[in-house]
Structures are given as C-alpha cells and as structure tokens.
Structure 1
Amino acid sequence: MKRGRILNAKLSYAIATMGHDDLMLVTDAGLPFKHDERVIDLALSPDVPDLFSVLRAIRQEMWVEKLAFIKEGDNPNVVNGVKDIFPDAEATFEPNDWFHHAVDQEAKWVVRTGAWTPWGNVALWSGIPAVEWFRSTGAPPPAEWDERLERARQYGHVGVE
C-alpha cells in the first residue's frame, strides 16, 4: 500500500508529472468543464471532499510557487484558507472568464472537489525546491528569486522533505 498522503492514483500521477510553471486547477463542485483525461473528479457529495482537505494533501506532495483566485469572487474564507495552506506562494487574482478558459485550454490537470461554496476555485502553478535547485549550480540564486526564497524561508518550506 502507498505510504504517501495522496492515495488517489490519478492525482498522485498528476502531481508527479507537474513541471515548473505547469498549471493545476482545483475547483469547487460547480465549475463547468469538459470531462476528459486531464480531469480528476474527486467530488462525492456536497463538501466531500472539501477544498481545503484536497489542497492540504496537494501541499504535502507538490511545490506551489504561485496561485490565483477569481477576481470577481468575494469569498474571504476561501482566500484566507488557501493562503494559510500555501503562505509562501505568490497569490494573485484572475478574472472568472480566465478560469473558464483555463479549465479547458491551459490547465495540465483539473481536480474537481466536492467544495460547496461560491468561487471555490484555485489555480496552482507548480514550483521547484528553489534552495536545492540553485545550490547545485555552485552560485547564488538569481536576484529575481530573492523574494520567493525569503517567503519560503520565512514559512519553513525549503528543501525536499
């Protein structure tokens, strides 16, 4: 039996295939999209599994460098909860139309949760373990990475655990 946090075979595979800057959308139960091979449908019933449980599990196995919420949405519970899970990721906002386009066009993977909440959609861009990644060069990380590295250090999310 698998020893990791994520037991769902397709979600485990999806995370393993994410490269730097690949996009994964984690959606609520209501976001419309085409069901194809990129979709991992975890929804069982309202709020099962909930958005935060899925995101916490993903956090254990995927480096997330940047995330986005729906700009027009007003759900501080989602925004604050997700920021608590990914405090070292850069947080931005994208228009609702972008999410509707990205779900069918840009996302490498789409994970549908049972989240029963308005604007419960989050875009996650895959990152890298920056400290170790750049250490292998023998040179300091590029200056444009200073802010990201400082956020990672501040929240203790550095290195492969």
Structure 2
Amino acid sequence: MTKNGILNPQLCSAIAGAGHTDYFVIADPGLPIPEGINVIDLSLVRGVPSFLDTLKAVSGELVVESYILAEEMKNISPRLHDETCSVLQGLPHKYVPHEELKQLLRRAKAVVRTGETTSFANVILVCGVNF
C-alpha cells in the first residue's frame, strides 16, 4: 500500500505503465470508449468521483507534457473548462472537435471513467517523461 496519493491499484498500475507520448484519458461516464482500451471505472454515482478531483489526483502522479480538450467544452461547460486549464496550468494544449476527440481514444493507453455528468468533461493527457 502506498503512503500517499492514489490508492486504486488498477489506476496506480496504469500510471506506472504509461510511456512518453501515450494518451491517458479522464472521461465522463457517457464517453464511448473503443473496444480493447484499458478502462479504469471509478464511477460510483452521479458526480462521484468528480472530473476535477480525478484530474488533480492523476496529474499529481502522472508526468503530463500536454493535453487535448474538445472545442465544445469552452462554450458548453466554460467553468469546467477554466478549472481544467487551471489544474493543468502552464502545459501546452490544443482543441479538437468532440467527434475527433472520440476518434483519438483509439490511441489511449487507459481511460479513467469518473462519475462527472457535466457536458464534455473529458481530457486526453499526453504523457511526458520525468528526465
């Protein structure tokens, strides 16, 4: 058992196994995930765990070099957009249409499913290296 940080063994394993440029996704429960992708389902009930709590925990452990958001998030969920960018402050990012983001999931090393029900509560974290 770890002293601090993430306790979920499946999530710890996925983070430890992530390599440079891998896609590591944090998603709402409605995002369609392609078959064959490692899904770590943390969803319990609506809102638990939240997207932001999950993002904070994962980004505290995972080396992230950039991230990708759906363009629609800016206008449809502006508060969540701003909070997401604040958590990942200083990292380069880009926007793609939501349909393209769903296609990018095919490259995901892992998808962490949250209980968040805010629209477009999804982010692709592009893994970096710590050296």
TM over 0.5: yes
Quote the sequence identity (%): 33
Matches within 5 A, 1:43-58: 43-58=43-58
The residue number in structure 2 matching 1:118 is: 119
User: Cα distance, 1:37 vs. partner?
Assistant: 5.7
Q: How does 1:117-156 map to 2 (within 5 A)?
A: 117-129=118-130, 133=131
1:14 corresponds to 2:20? no
Matching residue of 1:139: none
Q: Which runs of 5+ in 1 are unaligned?
A: 134-161
Give the alignment's TM-score, normalised by structure 1: 0.75
In the alignment, the residues of structure 2 paired with residue 36 and residue 20 of structure 1 have an alpha-carbon distance, to the nearest angstrom, of: 20
Task: Give the aligned residue type for 2:82.
Answer: N
**Partner deviation per Cα, 1:113-139 (whole Å, 9 max, x = no partner):** 00110011111001123xxx2xxxxxx
Which has a greater percent of strand? 2
Contact 1:65 1:88 in 2 (8 A): no
Deviation at 1:4, TM superposition (A): 2.8
The higher relative CO (CA closer than 8 Å, separation ≥ 6) is in: 2
TM-score (norm 2): 0.90
Structure 2 regions of 5+ residues with no counterpart? none
For the aligned residue pairs, the C-alpha RMSD in angstroms reads 1.5
Q: Equivalent residue for 1:109?
A: 110
Q: Aligned partner of 1:90: which letter?
A: P
In structure 2, what is the equivalent of residue 62 of structure 1? Answer: 62
- The 3-state SS of whatever aligns with 1:56 is helix
Equivalences for 1:71-90 in 2 at 5 Å? 71-73=71-73, 74=75, 75-90=77-92
Q: Tell me the SS of whatever aligns to 1:108.
A: strand
Do the aligned partners of residues 96 and 37 (structure 1) sit closer, same or farther apart at CA in structure 2, a change above 3 Å counting?
A: closer
Q: Any runs of at least 4 consecutive aligned residues in structure 1 with deviations exceeding 4 A, and if so which?
A: 34-37
Aligned length, in residue pairs: 129
